[in-house]
Chain A
Amino acid sequence: MDTLQFLADGFGVAFQWHNILFALIGVIIGTAVGVLPGIGPMSGVALLIPVTATITSGMPTGAAAASSIILLAGVYYGAMYGGSTTSILLNTPGESSSVVTTLDGYQMAQQGRAGAALAISAIGSFVAGIISLIGLVLLAEPLSNVAIKFGPAEYFSLMLLGLAAVSGLAGKSMTKAIMMTVFGLMLGTIGIDAVSGIARFTYDQPILFSGLEFLTIAVGLFALGEVVKTVLEKDEETGSIAKINRILPTKQDMKDSTVPIVRGSLLGFFIGVLPGAGATLASFFSYTTEKKLSKNPEKFGKGHIAGVAGPESANNAASGGAMIPLLTLGIPGSGTTAILMGALIMYNIQPGPLLFDEHPEVAWGLIASMFIGNLMLLVLNMPLVRVFAKIIQTPKKYLLPMIIAISFFGVYAVQYTTFDLYLLLGCGVLGYLLSKNDYPVAPLVLALVLGPMIENNMRRALTISNGDFSIFVTKPLSLLFILAAAAWLLVPLLLKLKGRKIIINEED
Chain B
Amino acid sequence: MNKKFDRVAGIAFLLIGILFFIESQKISDSAYGSSVGPKIFPMGLGLILTLLSIRLLYETFKYKTEDSTKDKLQYKKFFIIFGSALLYAFFLEKIGYVVSTFLFLLIAFQTLERGKVIYSIIISTVFSVGIYYMFSELLGGSLPGFPLF
Residues of A bordering B, CB below 8 Å:
54-55, 57-58, 172-173, 175-176, 178-179, 182-183, 185-186, 189, 193, 195-196, 198, 200-201, 228, 231-234, 395-398, 400-402, 404-405, 408-409, 412-413, 418, 421-422, 425, 429, 433, 437-439, 455, 458-459, 462-463, 466-467
Contact = CB atoms under 8 A, between A and B. Distances in A.
A102 B112 CA distance: 29
Contact of A186 (B2, B20, B81): B20
Interface in B18-48: 20, 23-24, 27-28, 30-38, 40-42, 45-46, 48
Given A176-B56, A189-B42, A228-B78, A412 B5 contact: no
A162 to B, nearest CB: 17
Nearest to B128: A405
Given A183-B16, A396-B112, A233 B30 contact: no
Given A231-B74, A231-B78, A458-B41, A57 B139 contact: yes
A397 B105 CA distance: 10
Interface of B: 1-2, 5-6, 9, 13, 16, 20, 23-24, 27-28, 30-38, 40-42, 45-46, 48-49, 52-53, 55-56, 59, 71-75, 77-78, 81-82, 85-86, 88-90, 92-93, 97, 101, 104-105, 108-109, 112-113, 123, 127-128, 131, 135, 139-141, 143
A413 B144 CA distance: 10
B2 to A, nearest CB: 5
Contact of B2 (A425, A437, A467): A437
20 contacts: A54-B135, A55-B139, A58-B139, A172-B1, A173-B56, A173-B59, A175-B56, A182-B45, A189-B45, A232-B74, A232-B77, A395-B113, A401-B112, A405-B104, A405-B128, A408-B101, A413-B141, A421-B88, A425-B86, A439-B9
Contacts of B85: 404, 408, 425
Nearest to A456: B41
A156 B35 CA distance: 18
A412 B49 contact: no
B35 A466 contact: yes
Given A200-B24, A409-B101, 10 more contacts: A179-B53, A182-B48, A196-B37, A234-B71, A398-B123, A405-B127, A418-B89, A422-B86, A462-B34, A462-B36
A182 B36 contact: no
Contacts of B42: 186, 189, 200-201
A56 B123 CA distance: 26
A400 B37 CA distance: 46
Contacts of A186: 16, 20, 42, 45-46, 49
B35 A195 contact: no
Given A201-B42, A459-B41, A232 B75 contact: yes
